[in-house]
Amino acid sequence: MEPKKNPKADLTKNSSLYFVIGLFAVMLFTYVAFEWKTYDEANDYDISMNVDDLLDEEVPMTEQIKTPPPPPPPAAPEIIEVVEDEEEVEETVIESTETSQEEEIVEVEDIAVDEIEEDVDVPFAVIEDVPVFPGCEGAPDKRACFNEMIQKHIGKNFRYPEIAQEMGVQGRVSVMFVIQKDGSIGNVRMRGPDKNLEAEAARIINKLPKMTPGKQRGRAVRVPFSIPINFKLQ
């Protein structure tokens, strides 16, 4: 039995060759596609035509200033003749101030220096000789007599201020004063609850009589003293 197909019409005879050719064509096309480049159209006009020529401006010429010639050199100084001084000058002899052993040393007598009296405040509690209140000259304990006479003086001259009574003001006024070196009263200071009470306390202290001043080491000194005065409404 004869075959029905023509052996010359076999399609698979050169299939591998066609495959290789087709594969090569595809690869060639792909390579050309990747390597393909395009460029913008170039301008044919000259760029230098748009630039203005800046060299056409006129450049001013610099004038050459002539400097004046330098001044002439100063004239040479005149020759000064040196005249010798014929006058003789006496030399000054400086004598030594050091003493020699042959000179006698004169002894200087002692110079009496007057002591300067300083104003010293000695408190009443530590002073050697307390101030003497008038009437205490013969008292054995002049310190106790002084305190007693001060209290009697306050009681005798005490007067309650009317304005303080009306306002109901009362309290203690501390009075500080100094018995001066001449026995007078000075530097009176007050501290209390009301100005009217302070004024009354100052009036009482200022009426104190002149005393015999206090002494420390036989010399009159100032003696500070303080005492409270009570103002109490009945």
The set of residues, in sequence order, having a beta carbon less than 8 Å from that of 213 and lying 6+ positions away, is 131, 179, 180, 181, 182, 183, 220, 221, 223
What's the burial of 38, exposed, middle or buried (CB within 10 Å: 0-12/13-18/19+)? exposed
DSSP strand pairing (171-179 vs 223-231): antiparallel
Looking at per-residue pLDDT, the higher value among 102 and 167 belongs to 167
Query: By three-state DSSP, how is residue 174 classified?
Result: strand
Name residue 109's amino acid: E
**What are the residue boundaries of the structural domains of the chain, listed by start?**
142-231
Report whether pLDDT(47) > 50: no
- According to CATH, the topology of domain 142-231 is 3.30.1150
pLDDT digits (tens, 9 = 90+) for 170-219: 999 999 999 999 999 999 999 999 999 999 999 999 999 999 999 999 89
Between the alpha carbon of residue 126 and those of residues 13, 212, 213, 218, 220, the distances in Å are 154, 17, 14, 14, 14
Looking at per-residue pLDDT, the higher value among 18 and 5 belongs to 18
**Rounded to the nearest 5 degrees, what angle is found at the Cα of 156, between the Cα atoms of 138 and 178?**
65
Beta-carbon neighbour count of residue 8 at 10 Å?
A: 6
Local structure of residue 175 (DSSP, 8 states): E
pLDDT digits (tens, 9 = 90+) for 53-106: 444 555 454 455 556 677 777 776 666 666 565 666 566 666 656 655 555 665
